[in-house]
Amino acid sequence: MLRLTPLSCLNQTVLDWRIDVDCDARLREARDGYGNCVTALYVDQPVTTLTITAQGQVVTEDRAGVVSGLSSDLPPGVFLRPTSLTVPDDALRTFADEIAGRVPAPLDRLHALNASLSERMTYDVATSSVSTTAAEAFATGRGVCQDYAHIFIAAARAGGIPARYVSGHLYRRDGAGTQPASHAWIEAWVEDLGWVAFDPTNGICADDAYVRIASGLDFADVSPIVGARRGGGEEELTVEVRVTSSARSRQSQRQGSGGSWQQQSQG
């Protein structure tokens, strides 16, 4: 199951997008329960390597973080539901309550939460995995964008604010070229405004540097690649992401020759 294809909304217009596979395969496109574009990939014959390339052009617009015009969406209340990755512990609840006590207005509270997480957490690719929970990452004070997003979601929901996990791509204005993974941020619901996108990893609201791919309750709902295979041995997954200022994005996934399929984490 591939969640690699962006959809158009008022924040972005997909000019062209395609998924290529370097072997005989069947691709079938559909929508999941969250409205994300999902491509089912079937490979019937034995392979030792599998390369999947997603690439295209997207025109983006800076709307001060407000996300609107999605072709399908669920009621905000759905995104108050906790998951195993976003259940807050006592420390996270205390953190959320402290911010809510200082900043009671929902939008201002979300901005304060965004800034606080960006300052409190240390970006560290060596301390977490796809199974790391929000509480675990918050306790260590270290993690990747996936962890920042889960912590933000847990704290927002603890304060009664619907929040959802978003996966996509980020154009690095610092000139960084190849990236080791896709990006993750969150969208929180604000009455009379709608969904607002926050990136706690960078302490800002999402702007025209962001290409939105999929959203869900947590990472498990938007994993770029997840599946199963038959066969012995081991496997290795490598990821390469390139996003240029011309809005051309390329993401390649290489699947090795053994083991059960992995979920691709987000950096």
* Burial grade of 115 (CB within 10 A; 0-12, 13-18, 19 or more): middle
Q: Give me the phi and psi of 40, to 5 degrees please.
A: -85, 125
Answer yes or no: are the C-beta atoms of 150 and 219 closer than 8 Å.
yes
The count of other CB atoms within 10 Å of the CB of residue 111 is 18
Q: Can you say how many angstroms the Cα of residue 210 is from the centroid of all Cα atoms in its chain?
A: 11
Q: How far is CA 22 from the centre of its chain?
A: 26
Give me 45's structure tokens: 């014959």
Q: In degrees, to the nearest 5, what angle opens at C-alpha 208 toward C-alphas 206 and 209?
A: 80
Beta strands in the chain (DSSP E): 12-21, 26-31, 37-42, 50-60, 66-67, 122-123, 142-143, 163-170, 183-190, 194-199, 204-205, 210-216, 237-243, 248-255
pTM over 0.85: yes
Q: Are strands 194-199 and 237-243 parallel, antiparallel or unpaired?
A: unpaired
d(CA 61, CA 7) in angstroms, rounded, equals 14
CA 263 to chain CA centroid, nearest Å: 13
Q: Distance between CA 151 and CA 163 in Å, rounded?
A: 11
The C-alpha atoms of residue 56 and residue 70 are separated, in whole angstroms, by: 19
| Max intra-chain CA distance, the chain | 59
pLDDT of the residue at 247? 41
Dist CA 161 CA 153 (whole Å) = 9
Q: What is the pLDDT of residue 260?
A: 39
Per-residue pLDDT of the chain (267 residues; tens, 9 = 90+): 999 999 999 999 999 999 999 999 999 999 999 999 999 999 999 999 999 999 999 999 999 999 999 988 899 999 999 999 999 999 999 999 999 999 999 999 999 999 999 999 999 988 888 899 999 999 999 999 999 999 999 999 999 999 999 999 999 887 776 778 899 999 999 999 999 999 999 999 999 999 999 999 999 999 999 998 888 888 888 999 999 887 444 443 333 333 333 455 555
